[in-house]
Structure 1
Amino acid sequence: MMPRPAEVKQTLDLPPGYTLVALRELGDAFVHGCAIAPEAGAGTLVWVRRYDLVEFAVVLEPDEPLLSARRAFFAGMNAVADAIAAHCPPEREVNFDWPDAIRFDGGLLGGARLGTPADCAEDDVPAWLVFGVILRAADMAHVEEVQAASGVSLLSEGFEMVDTDAIVESFARHLMTAFDRWNERGFEAIARDYLERLPKRKAGERRAIDANGDLLVSLPAGSGPPDRNSLVDALARADWYDRQARGPKFG
């Protein structure tokens, strides 16, 4: 029996340094996070109390120009994947589609977005960033059966209802760990973790994340300059996101 929304836990156990802002079911964590970020400050985590989606956003305050600060997106993606992996059934894989889609056991589970101040130039240090996530927790009741079969949800893949909130709590801890790792070992450690979950398109290709967050893909020596995949352009498309349904696409 599927628990009713009112039965979902009403608070989260977050590590020190986080401030929880909880919204009702119709709230939009990402939009709300961007709206309150200038006053709310770093560590504010906006969470929507829903049973069908895991939806949250966290405010960050970088200390470098926007051009390179966007790379915080990859630390966030790693933290989401680590949180899912910590609660998933054994022998299941969490992978990415460049740069923002999250797949579980091959099916599209959700994705992430990055919000930045509209008036921030590339060479300026942004006052804030917002990293937002939506994961499909349960099969959507209003979606036709054939369409729903092409997607995956946490509950349909063996997670428990209690795991949906625990994933947000786990994300908060893993994000702190990711930034500690960045500070201690440099961004290359973050890039390496991210690229391990990004399937290769061709055998032998080499990948790297540039200083501005672009994905560089090269084949063995002598094959010319690497292909550049723009992070900014891909985040703007958000191919995983259904804007009308305000949730992950199916497929």
Structure 2
Amino acid sequence: MIARLGDTEQTLDLPPGYTLVALRELGDAFAHAREIAAEAGAGTLVWVRRYDLVEFAVVLEPDEPLASARRAFFAGMNALADAIAAHCPPEREVAFDWPDAIRFDAGLLGGGRLAWPNDCAEDEVPSWLVFGVILRAAAMAHVPEVQAASGVSLLSEGFEMVETDAIIESFSRHLMTAFDRWKERGFEAIARDYLERLPQRKAGERRGIDVNGDLLVRLAAGNAAPERNSLVDALARASWYDPQARGPKFE
């Protein structure tokens, strides 16, 4: 699939069903995908071609009310983690911080975001969702060297430059697989895959994802009500994202 920008050609090998929209280096994939989602439709993948970040967003069209449709976020996170794991050096761990941060060997690599129409009620089917991703591919040019040295990037962790684009291509395939898995086996299969990459905070705790996407945590002993962690509130914080740098935070 090819997108033309001026006199250049930029390519990604995406499966049938995807439409590529390529932006120049200063573009914002998440913002642009939200702007065009209603018209562009499902499978539109907006990609910013830059060397220091892996940045893209994909438009989804759910068939259930917003309150439960947000669970598509977990399918996106699973697909992203699977894509990274498929290209990373052996015996390296890809994990989540609830709900949206991606860690690679414990270092913050980036994360995912989710958007939906502002005027969509919880019990209405949204006309679109947008799942957006930013991963740190290399040291960002505008970040001080000392600060950059504290950050995890794909290149610093043994990935090759050619693999940064391959991660997007791999994500697109894993996302289709995730939705097929959801359709065939129910959302519990998606929740199980996600929770396997979410470290436990206490030994013996039992976790689940509610129908509205909230994380429910129960201790093995006792009959107390589960601790509820709001998906919507956590997505609004996007704790991994630095809006000034427009990329993953440094720790």
Q: Shorter-chain TM-score: what band?
A: over 0.9
Structure 1 range deviating more: 145-154 or 177-186: 145-154
CA RMSD in angstroms, aligned pairs only:
1.1
Structure 1 runs of 4+ aligned residues shifted over 2 Å read none
State the one-letter code of the partner of 2:166: A
* Pair 1:128-2:136 in alignment: no
The TM-score normalised by the length of structure 2 is: 0.95
Q: CA deviation at 1:150?
A: 2.2
Aligned to 1:3: none
Query: Is the partner of 1:10 in helix, strand or coil?
Result: strand
The TM-score normalised by the length of structure 1 is: 0.95
Q: CA deviation at 1:193?
A: 0.2
Aligned to 1:148: 148
Aligned to 2:43: 43
Q: Deviations over 1:214-243 (max 9, x none)?
A: 000010131511100000000000000000
Aligned to 1:247: 247
State the one-letter code of the partner of 1:100: D
State the one-letter code of the partner of 2:247: G
Query: Is the partner of 1:45 in helix, strand or coil?
Result: strand
CA distance in 1, matches of 2:164, 2:28: 17
Query: Is the partner of 1:207 in helix, strand or coil?
Result: strand
Aligned to 1:104: 104
Aligned to 1:198: 198
Query: Is the partner of 1:110 in helix, strand or coil?
Result: strand
CA distance in 2, matches of 1:69, 1:223: 29
Aligned to 2:63: 63
State the one-letter code of the partner of 1:240: W
Aligned to 1:167: 167
CA distance in 2, matches of 1:16, 1:157: 31
Query: Is the partner of 1:102 in helix, strand or coil?
Result: strand
State the one-letter code of the partner of 1:179: F
CA distance in 2, matches of 1:200, 1:101: 15
Aligned to 1:28: 28
Aligned to 1:4: none
Structure 1 range deviating more: 146-155 or 168-177: 146-155
CA distance in 2, matches of 1:147, 1:9: 34
Provide the identity percentage. 86
CA distance in 1, matches of 2:52, 2:153: 9
CA distance in 2, matches of 1:220, 1:192: 18
CA distance in 1, matches of 2:36, 2:10: 21
Aligned to 1:16: 16
State the one-letter code of the partner of 1:173: R
State the one-letter code of the partner of 2:55: E
Q: Is the 1:76–1:131 Cα contact (8 Å) retained in structure 2?
A: yes
Q: CA deviation at 1:151?
A: 1.5
Query: Is the partner of 2:11 in helix, strand or coil?
Result: coil
Q: Using a 3 Å threshold, how does the CA distance of structure 1 residues 147 and 9 change in structure 2: closer, same or farther?
A: farther
Q: CA deviation at 1:43?
A: 0.2
Q: CA deviation at 1:146?
A: 2.7
Q: Is the 1:148–1:250 Cα contact (8 Å) retained in structure 2?
A: yes
CA distance in 2, matches of 1:126, 1:150: 40
Aligned to 2:5: none
State the one-letter code of the partner of 1:117: P
Aligned to 2:93: 93
Contiguous gaps of at least 5 residues in structure 1: 1-7
CA distance in 2, matches of 1:123, 1:151: 41
